[in-house]
Amino acid sequence: MTDNNINAGRRRKDSKLPSGRADAPVRRKPSGGGSRPTGGGGLPMPRSGKAKGGCGSFFIILLLVGYFLLSGGEGIDLGEMVQEPYLDQGYQEPAQPAPESNFTPPASTGNEEQTWLIMLYQDADDKVLEQDIFIDLNEAEKVGSSENVHIVAQLDRYRGGFSGDGNWDSTRRYYIQQDNDLSRINSQLVADLGEVSMSRGESLIDFVTWSMVTFPADKYVLILSDHGMGWPGGWTDPAPGGQDGSFIPLAARLDDHLYMMEMDQALGEIRNRTGVDKLDIIGMDACLMAQLEVFAALQPHAQYAIASEETEPALGWAYAGFLGALVENPGMSAEDLSKLVVQSYIDEDQRIVDEQVRADFLRGGSPMGGLFSPASVSAEQLAQQLEKNVTLTAVNLDKLPALMNSYNDFSFALQDERQAMIAEARNYAQSYTSIFGREVPPSYIDLGHFVQLVGNNSSNGSTAQAASDVITALNDVVVAEKHGRGKPGSTGIAIYYPNSALYRSVMTGMQSYTGIAERFANASLWDEFLTYHYSEFEFSADVEQPLTPSTDVTRAPGLGQITVSPIRVSSNVAAPDQPITLSADIQGENIGHIYLFVGYLDEVANSIYVADMDYLESPDTREVGGVYYPQWGKDGVFTLNFTWDPIVFALSDGSTSAVALFTPENYGQSAADATYSVEGLYTFAETGESRKAKLYFQDEALQSVFIFTGQEGVGAPREVTSQSGDTFTVQERWLDISASGAIEAESSQAGKTLRFGDQVFTWEQLYAAQGEYILGFLIEDMDGNQYPVYTKVSVE
């Protein structure tokens, strides 16, 4: 025992007492499949009521990342890449007769006012997004085209999903005309193209080139809608057709996406074919695309760009809001319109401002419908709730080279810093949703917040000055920025900063990163810094010498070298209203979060059910740039004490309750702001189709539902608006134990199924079932590695 005692509490609170007692979980071992081997390592089973601490993650982070990803002004010139003429290698649709169309472009009025062309590239060929993107197009119809503003759209729908408007499932082009019906597209059909793979660069080229030739204008705006993944790109399509990217590991694994290097090439080809120097605005109505890597790819092709650092809610952008303002004042500048898109986001969406549409949205299954009465909630109340975790940024791409230049100076200066300090800044910087699974810490972090943390913690004057220069350049680039109170450290642009596990993988390391984010890598020293950070290869300030991709890791600066004593318990038996105290001595550096682990031991199946995890709260909480995290002693030596009441948490739909694992996601400013997720299988009532999903909770109630394009919670995330009758099946996590007492596989099995309806999903406390439990502390370092220690207790 040390002299420094820290009495910790759990972060998750519940305003109500336990409502009953949980049933004992039962492991149903499949005859084959369903398990992930851990390579023979894993959690040693506690013996004699005690477990040893040590290095390595309880969830075998490195091995599982391998499983998920391997099995799968002045300054830098961001001009044209040296590349071959665009040759799309993807799927070619069988020749079809061109559908007849009586569309004739409207004649020019001859007025001398400024003209605009708004191009909506809407890849809705996805069950999750189809209805939301369909409504976005109808919102644009609320305004419609005018003499000076022409709006065109290419919409690809999903077969077997949303059945509205005749349930057609092809790809259509429309000339958008004014119409107030949000349930049906009444604009003029230009062409029905059949099935088109909108993940192909050639499809984007064809639509934009046709639009610009047919409707020449003074100002051009291109808005792309679909799933986004950040620097890898996005824009999936179930029709085969993504460009052959087999030379890049991640592209070869994910297949049908429009990758950033492909989008870069396609935009260059559009400019070549149309003779237009630059588009005025490129907008990405998609998740996670406001990254420096993405903006670098867009910089040669447009003057302004608009995107979100975080995932976007199902509403998407407020098309009627900013398009209405443009039609009323077509003389505005591209910067003015960019600012309007950001300002109108959420607040002016038709599902917020229109009373009837708002009520339908809440009754339709939105999680907000359980928090508010559809008949009484105001637009302001709903907007405030939906804006909690949103971000949106508009940037001036003409000023991006100066930001790149200053960030290169900053990256070069980081070689002279303690790398552990930089890893700490990564760990505490504002982060965003991970597309790489739950086994690794978030790798998309806010650039400005990260730079501020480094600048504040550095004792090197040159680094502090370089950090200040980056912030100045960043403020000059960002012309408008919005973020909710749940993302307080957001400054407008994110950056990819992988931990050592992601860096080591060919899927998420430099080979894929520099190949997909090609333009950024060619003009940046950031990839050189990451190689120095993990492989100790020093680099010069010369960006003309490209990095040779490497996955070698010789150090992990965020590594903690943490030691943990066996857990001491006040009693080996707990019961309702008879808590026990757990204590352990901890020593080490780079300590980040500490988690509680609760596992139920099914002795018949020889498996552990992961029943509960939570952040442990320290009495000392630190705040940096609006982001909060616990402090665990100044010298890294302390005794951790925690009193455990034998309770677990259940998910409830108002009539059915299911014990579920609420995984900690975000520590938050207070317990009410902490975020937790529940993993499971989401099934659409209308079609019976199922997708991997996460439910996100704050302060006891469901906040949002996200579905992922990939398996195991990886790939592009997107919020879905639940419909009455849709269901969610809880995914139980089990750890199967070998005869020697080590974890040999992590498995999942289906738990109870809950149904979406009039009641909002909530969490509730239950007394833990009687039986044997494995309790533990997971001490996490700044690189995402966990140092576990466990003990075995009985619950009566």
Q: Kindly state whether residue 446 falls inside one of the protein's structural domains.
A: no
Residue 532 is encoded by which pair of tokens? Answer: 């120095």
Residues 155 and 16 in one domain: no
Confidence band of 790 (pLDDT split at 50, 70, 90): very high
Q: Kindly state whether residue 429 falls inside one of the protein's structural domains.
A: no
CB 302, CB 279: distance < 8 Å: yes
- pLDDT at site 246: 57
Q: Kindly state whether residue 578 falls inside one of the protein's structural domains.
A: yes
Identify the three-state secondary structure at position 765: strand
Whether the per-residue pLDDT at 688 is higher than 50: the answer is yes
Whether the per-residue pLDDT at 737 is higher than 70: the answer is yes
Residues 644 and 743 in one domain: yes
CB 536, CB 529: distance < 8 Å: no
Find the mean pLDDT for residues 734-755.
90
Whether the per-residue pLDDT at 81 is higher than 90: the answer is no
Q: Which residue has the higher pLDDT, 138 or 169?
A: 138
Please say which residue of 349, 383, 398 terminates a domain.
398
Interval 353-386: pLDDT, tens: 887 877 777 765 555 544 455 556 777 878 787 8
Q: Give the separation between CA 482 and CA 393, rounded to whole angstroms.
A: 6
- pLDDT at site 72: 33
Q: Which residue has the higher pLDDT, 623 or 289?
A: 289
Whether the per-residue pLDDT at 753 is higher than 60: the answer is yes
Q: What is the rounded (10 degree) CA torsion for 257, 260, 266, 267?
A: 140
Mean of the per-residue pLDDT values of the chain? 85
SS3 sequence of 741-756? CEEEEEEEEEEEEEEC
Please say which residue of 398, 422, 441 terminates a domain.
398
- pLDDT at site 82: 38
CB 719, CB 129: distance < 8 Å: no
Confidence band of 102 (pLDDT split at 50, 70, 90): low
Whether the per-residue pLDDT at 32 is higher than 50: the answer is no
Find the mean pLDDT for residues 569-573.
97
SS3 sequence of 215-235? CCCCEEEEEEECCECCCCEEC
Residues 781 and 690 in one domain: yes
Find the mean pLDDT for residues 446-454.
96
Q: Kindly state whether residue 521 falls inside one of the protein's structural domains.
A: no
- pLDDT at site 218: 97
- pLDDT at site 636: 80
Residues 147 and 284 in one domain: yes
Identify the three-state secondary structure at position 268: helix
Quote the number of domains for the chain: 2
Whether the per-residue pLDDT at 71 is higher than 50: the answer is no
- pLDDT at site 168: 86
Residues 137 and 17 in one domain: no
Whether the per-residue pLDDT at 34 is higher than 70: the answer is no
Residues 167 and 18 in one domain: no
- pLDDT at site 680: 95
Q: Kindly state whether residue 471 falls inside one of the protein's structural domains.
A: no
CB 296, CB 78: distance < 8 Å: yes
Identity at 481, one-letter amino acid code: E
Q: Kindly state whether residue 715 falls inside one of the protein's structural domains.
A: yes
Whether the per-residue pLDDT at 120 is higher than 50: the answer is yes
- pLDDT at site 274: 97
Q: Kindly state whether residue 17 falls inside one of the protein's structural domains.
A: yes
- pLDDT at site 85: 38
- pLDDT at site 739: 83
Q: Kindly state whether residue 714 falls inside one of the protein's structural domains.
A: yes
- pLDDT at site 633: 74
Residue 757 CB coordination number (10 Å):
18
Residues 238 and 383 in one domain: yes
Whether the per-residue pLDDT at 67 is higher than 70: the answer is no
* Residue 346 CB-density burial (10 A; 0-12 exposed, 13-18 middle, 19+ buried): buried
Residues 47 and 149 in one domain: no
Residues 595 and 667 in one domain: yes
Residues 14 and 133 in one domain: no
Whether the per-residue pLDDT at 89 is higher than 70: the answer is no
Please say which residue of 380, 398, 416 terminates a domain.
398
- pLDDT at site 765: 95
Whether the per-residue pLDDT at 244 is higher than 60: the answer is no
Q: Give the separation between CA 369 and CA 388, rounded to whole angstroms.
A: 16
- CA 673 from chain centre, in angstroms, equals 18
Whether the per-residue pLDDT at 563 is higher than 90: the answer is yes
Find the mean pLDDT for residues 710-736.
80
- pLDDT at site 255: 64
Whether the per-residue pLDDT at 60 is higher than 50: the answer is no
Whether the per-residue pLDDT at 61 is higher than 60: the answer is no
Interval 188-230: pLDDT, tens: 999 999 989 999 999 999 999 999 999 999 999 999 999 899 9
Minimum mean pLDDT among 367-381, 578-592, 679-693, 730-744: which range? Answer: 367-381
Residues 296 and 184 in one domain: yes
Find the mean pLDDT for residues 551-575.
91
Whether the per-residue pLDDT at 86 is higher than 60: the answer is no
Domain residue limits at 158? 116-398
DSSP state of 291: B
Find the mean pLDDT for residues 548-553.
72
Give the residue ranges of DSSP H helices in 414-499: 419-428, 447-457, 461-477
CATH number at residue 365: 3.40.50.11970
CB 549, CB 509: distance < 8 Å: yes
Find the mean pLDDT for residues 714-727.
78
- pLDDT at site 271: 97
Q: Give the separation between CA 164 and CA 638, rounded to whole angstroms.
A: 61
Residues 337 and 258 in one domain: yes
Greatest CA separation for the chain:
89
Find the mean pLDDT for residues 512-534.
94
Confidence band of 554 (pLDDT split at 50, 70, 90): confident
- pLDDT at site 171: 93
- pLDDT at site 54: 30
DSSP state of 310: S
